[in-house]
Chain A
Amino acid sequence: MEDKCTGCTVCVEYCPAKYPDKFNQDLSKNKAIHIYYSQAIPLITYIDESCLYLKEKKCRICEAVCKNEAIDFSQTEKKMEIKVGAVVLAPGYEPFDPGAREDYGYGKFKNVITSMDYERLTDSTGPYEGQVLRPSDLKHPQKVAWIQCVGSRQVNPPGGNSYCSSVCCTYTQKQVILTKEHSPDAECTVFHNDIRSYGKDFERFYQRAEDLPGVQFIRSYVSVVKEDPETKNVTLKYATNDDGVREEEFDLVVLSVGLNPPADFKGLADKFGIELNEHGFCKTDPGNPMQTSRPGLLISGAFQGPVDIPESVVSASGAGSQCGELLNYRRGDLSTERIYPPERDVSLEEPRIGVFVCHCGANIGRVVDVPSTVDYCLTLPNVVYAQEQLFSCATNSAEEITEKIKEQGLNRVIVAACSPRTLEMLFRDTLRQAGLNQYYYEMANIREHCSWVHPKEKDEATQKSKDIIRMAVARTRFLEPLTEIDLPVDKRALVVGGGLAGMTCALSIAAQGHEVYLVEKDPELGGTARKIHDTLDGTDVQAYLREVIGKIYKNPLVHVYTDANITENTGYIGNFITRLKVGDRTAELKHGATVIATGADIYTPTEYLYGEDDRVLTHLELEEKIAEEDEKVINSQSLVMIQCVGCRNEERNYCSRICCNESVKNALKLKEKNPQMDIYILFRDMRTYGYNEDYYRLASEKDVKFIRYEPDEEPLVEAAEGEDRPVLRVTLPDYVLGKKLEIDADIVTLAAAVIPSAGTREIESIFKVGLNQDGFFKEAHVKLRPVEFAAEGIYLCGLAHYPKLISETISQAYGAAGRVLTLLSNDTVTASGSICEVEENSCISCGACIAACSYGAIEFRETELGIKAFVNPVLCKGDGLCNAMCPTGAIQLKHFTDEELLSQIDAATSEEEVVDEVETVV
């Protein structure tokens, strides 16, 4: 029973039914009763169908050993009816199963495994606790090969998927890096087609993997030949341009499997009445990748097709925002506010500490002598009450703590149990329920730090528990009540940048009832999308853009400022003030949240005669000319496109992500208009990831010629006289034929890099946000917080974050709106009480604290005592770096003051006496 189980896992230990653990890819065994995996939510056990009682009506051991009576074998399936206004489908994906096909030897050769199997092997909670052991003999493999594109980018033989699974190149590189960390001498070989490192910082990640000693990336098709009957090693056959066909033996072969639609995708589609695309993933609106064919039904994650973790998180947040749009009219109806009793002022009382020592079922109790620990607690200074509890975290135990606080007049509480990571918040709340300030609570971790690591040394573990509690008591005596500040939230948002990202974000915020200021530096809205005419999947971008701009101007909640430059931004989360110059006028805007959507620019090439010869164009200029039906372009006999111009080089060490798609799109358009034209695309790696792979294949079928070049032998473009006409002669090596290739072209187009927009540095300094190495804005966390900055209340989307396709920009714009709403839907934001404070008498105005603060939370202020450091409590995040830098100890991190920490350090060594007043060192 979910409300009774505390996740102590004693039942797991006693359960006699072992079966292969699905979470660990059946590589190891688990019990019939178990926690699904170590980060599962809720972190409690469940019983699956391998249970002896469920199968044969015997056993029931778990029921007997559960001290909290949390196991109920009488439970049956329940049908529920829930009324909702919106549904989000997030069924994820299914890894491709190579066992269905014979060609990889999976399921036949023991040491051929999938990347999912390998993923579990490298994990510390995996089958061998993080040891990479190969299946045949459980030895560490020294020669590991990865085969890329297993089940992806395959039309023949049948059974594969035509699309690119998008994530495999990078996850393989991660596995290579992990392998080298596990065993530095291992030889790693990756057999690949194109390396698709198109994501933010992926190119560097690829280089990091490639540069490791003993790591080889080989561009070759590969086949699994045989298994050695003795050693069980696997032989692969591959071909390189230099050495021709080779066979090589490996200890372990990992198949980098792609992403399939979720299991039973048809049933899911029928149940919800939504359409699927031809690959079995969800069919979505090109102008809104979270929208299914049925209004009110949204999706997030890989059900839209292969996407990585950051994009899944972004689309989840975006789907959330769209649910908010649908349900805004009843926002907050189901929430109830928690009412706490008034806080008792105990600051003048002597400390009266209560200690609650938890058995955690048997987790602590069977190692640590809990009763003797309780007796010991009572001998410690200021401890007036101590007791044991079976599970301190159970609801009735928390109530018991509340009662004892009142009955015993406790003014400080220690729970000696587990890690504060999970339960500190709960117990702080318990104190508030009892009318005590929550910062009078302290946790002594005698489980993870004691009973779990010393299960066989009971006496020593008991002693250690006493030591840990004694230290906690010492600190607790000095704890102070702290106030968390509630700051009002200004309900308006500022969106900087009026491109597709900014506009989409603004509309989603406005649809949830908030006023939005939309600021654009150009005279017109639209941004980079104004230069794009259609997308590979056929969306008319200009029509879509006109529709969005129309919605912006029609929406009474969106206030547009064009030709506007931002000059200043002050304030903090929930309360910003931004000043603008709009023509000759100035404006001052107050807002609670800020979105940076300032877009990007296109690199102006200096290579390949660009700017010197008007037959050399960028890819976007080509798109424009195709749209204009420019005769010279459309009637040319031969056209060459050169990829990766101005990026994937030393100066810009990243992939611009969109250019391969752009060139394939232009090539297809040109072939449509002039099927006779010879089109050559000179590329390094074709990065038509996801469904766009199908268009790459289509272009190939239409006889667009794809020729690979290496960065150290770039093509040469020169004006020359052709057979019958003046041409641009393009010369490059042909690696397949091993000779020089000359192409006479009428037009050469360059896939110019996407670069950070010109105003990026200025925006960075005005809003005090960060940039990555390549000059794009840096999100707070790539996976966990992909659309927000580390500075609170500021969000980001669109090309300003990194080059991306229009659909991805829209997804991210909704994602940013979703995060904005989690802020703006609150009336107040709460700042932690554990922040720094300056004791002005001791401050010598040296500025060491100001230099140490990354949040800009400290500044000098004029006081009666002269110029002194001052901490803005709203900006301080409580890391305490300033505290360790201050020469006089004038600045202290509250809740972790020198007095509190030193008393704890002293108590670590002084067994008998902790009563001595603590002298502060500084």
Chain B
Amino acid sequence: MCTGRIDLAHVIRAFTNGTDGVFIGGCRLNECNYITHGNFYALNMVLLCKKMMEHIGINPERLRIEFMSSGEGNLFAEVVDHFVKTVKDIGPLGKSEGLDENGLKVNLEAITGLIPYIRLVESERLKGHFTTLEEYQEFYSSVEFDRLFKELIADKLAISRIILLLREKALSTGEISEVLGLSPSEISKHLSNSAKLGLVRYDESRKRFASV
């Protein structure tokens, strides 16, 4: 098994279980002992996952990938010490980010639900093909990537978060905004689009949105 086998689903599952930090250690880049260079797959997954974490209000520093050889025990210890300190400084998952338990749960569940879709767009449009860490970092922080991310993932993620929330009980725009940390105008936009698609309805009597 290669680092590239580590799945977005595995990482999100760990956070869903309340894990405060996830660390992935892989072989050094461009030093694959096979021909696959699967650690770049893992790097892609991690950088995309960080982007989504940021989007749903989770500190992306909670996820870290580092590349080293089996002979670099010192480096491993150093990196892990640093990571543990970082995660301790950030504090417990959700609370430190100002997310309530339900909001955190809904946000992660929304990603989980989107994973099959993310894999499809990731393998087609959201993946970088470079040879250095710097190039990957540049790609994932580029304006172009932001545009693709918004177009392909961000809106879909927002809508599934709203729908998941409404499944529990009907809520007003303001209440949704409070739980998910999205602006009321953004929520209105998503709600009206979703209503058109028949995914949510407006309950006139209670002045609240509800899932269908």
Contact = CB atoms under 8 A, between A and B. Distances in A.
Are A and B associated in one complex?
yes
Nearest to B5: A880
A880 B10 contact: no
Contacts of A852: 4, 41, 123
A883 B2 CA distance: 11
Contacts of A855: 35-36
B120 A878 contact: no
B119 A453 contact: no
B45 interface: yes
Interface string B9-36: 1101110011100000000000001111
B90 to A, nearest CB: 17
Interface stretch (A54-62, A517-525, A729-737, A904-912): A904-912
Interface in A266-320: none
A421 B71 CA distance: 13
Interface string A761-787: 000000000100000000011001000
B74 interface: yes
A906 B18 CA distance: 10
Nearest to B73: A124
Contacts of B35: 770, 780, 790-791, 854-855
A722 B35 CA distance: 58
Nearest to B122: A885
Nearest to A419: B70
Given A879-B4, A880-B2, A896-B5, A886 B17 contact: no
A855 B36 CA distance: 8
Contacts of B72: 124
B119 A886 contact: yes
Interface residues of B, number: 36
Nearest to A902: B13
A885 B123 contact: yes
Task: Point out which of A129, A770, A921 has the most chain B C-beta atoms below 10 A from its C-beta.
Answer: A921
A898 B7 contact: yes
A909 B16 CA distance: 10
A911 to B, nearest CB: 11
Contacts, number: 104
A544 B35 CA distance: 38
Given A879-B38, A905-B13, A887 B74 contact: no
A688 B120 CA distance: 55
B4 A880 contact: yes
B116 interface: yes
A41 interface: no
Residue among B1, B33, B41, B77 with most chain A CB within 10 A: B1
Given A884-B7, A906-B17, A879 B77 contact: no
B7 A909 contact: no
Given A851-B123, A898-B9, A909 B1 contact: no
Given A887-B116, A905-B14, A790 B74 contact: no
B5 A909 contact: no
Contacts of B14: 905, 908-909
Nearest to B41: A881
In this complex, which of B5, B6, B36 has the most chain A Cβ atoms within 10 angstroms of its Cβ? Answer: B5
Contact of B34 (A848, A879, A909): A879
Given A124-B73, A879-B36, A881-B36, A908 B17 contact: yes
Contacts of B41: 852, 881, 884-885
Interface residues of A, number: 42
Contacts of A339: none
Contacts of B37: 854
Contacts of A389: none
Contacts of B73: 124
A475 to B, nearest CB: 12
Given A124-B74, A887-B117, A888-B116, A905 B123 contact: no
A130 interface: yes
Nearest to A785: B33
A883 B7 contact: yes
Contacts of B173: none
Nearest to B77: A453
B132 to A, nearest CB: 13
Interface string B107-144: 00000100111011001000000000000000000000
Interface centre among A421, A880, A888, A922 (most CB of B within 10 A): A880
A902 to B, nearest CB: 6
Nearest to B14: A905
Nearest to B31: A781
A834 interface: yes
B119 A887 contact: yes
B13 A896 contact: no
Contacts of A851: 123
Interface in B68-125: 70-74, 77, 112, 115-117, 119-120, 123
Contacts of B117: 887
A901 interface: yes
Contacts of A905: 10, 13-14, 17
Contacts of B5: 879-881, 883-884, 893, 896
Nearest to A790: B35
A560 B8 CA distance: 54
A902 B6 CA distance: 11
Given A906-B13, A909-B18, A921-B9, A879 B1 contact: yes
Which of A770, A781, A791, A881 neighbours the largest number of chain B CB atoms within 10 Å of its CB? A881
B74 A922 contact: no
A795 to B, nearest CB: 15
A877 interface: yes
B1 A877 contact: no
Nearest to A770: B35
Interface string A384-426: 0000000000000000000000000000000000000100000
Given A781-B33, A790-B35, A884-B45, A922 B116 contact: yes
The 7 closest A-B pairs by CB, nearest first: A880-B5, A879-B2, A887-B116, A790-B35, A909-B17, A921-B9, A881-B4
10 contacts: A848-B119, A854-B37, A879-B2, A879-B34, A880-B1, A884-B6, A887-B116, A887-B119, A898-B7, A921-B12
Interface of B: 1-2, 4-10, 12-14, 17-19, 33-38, 41, 45, 70-74, 77, 112, 115-117, 119-120, 123
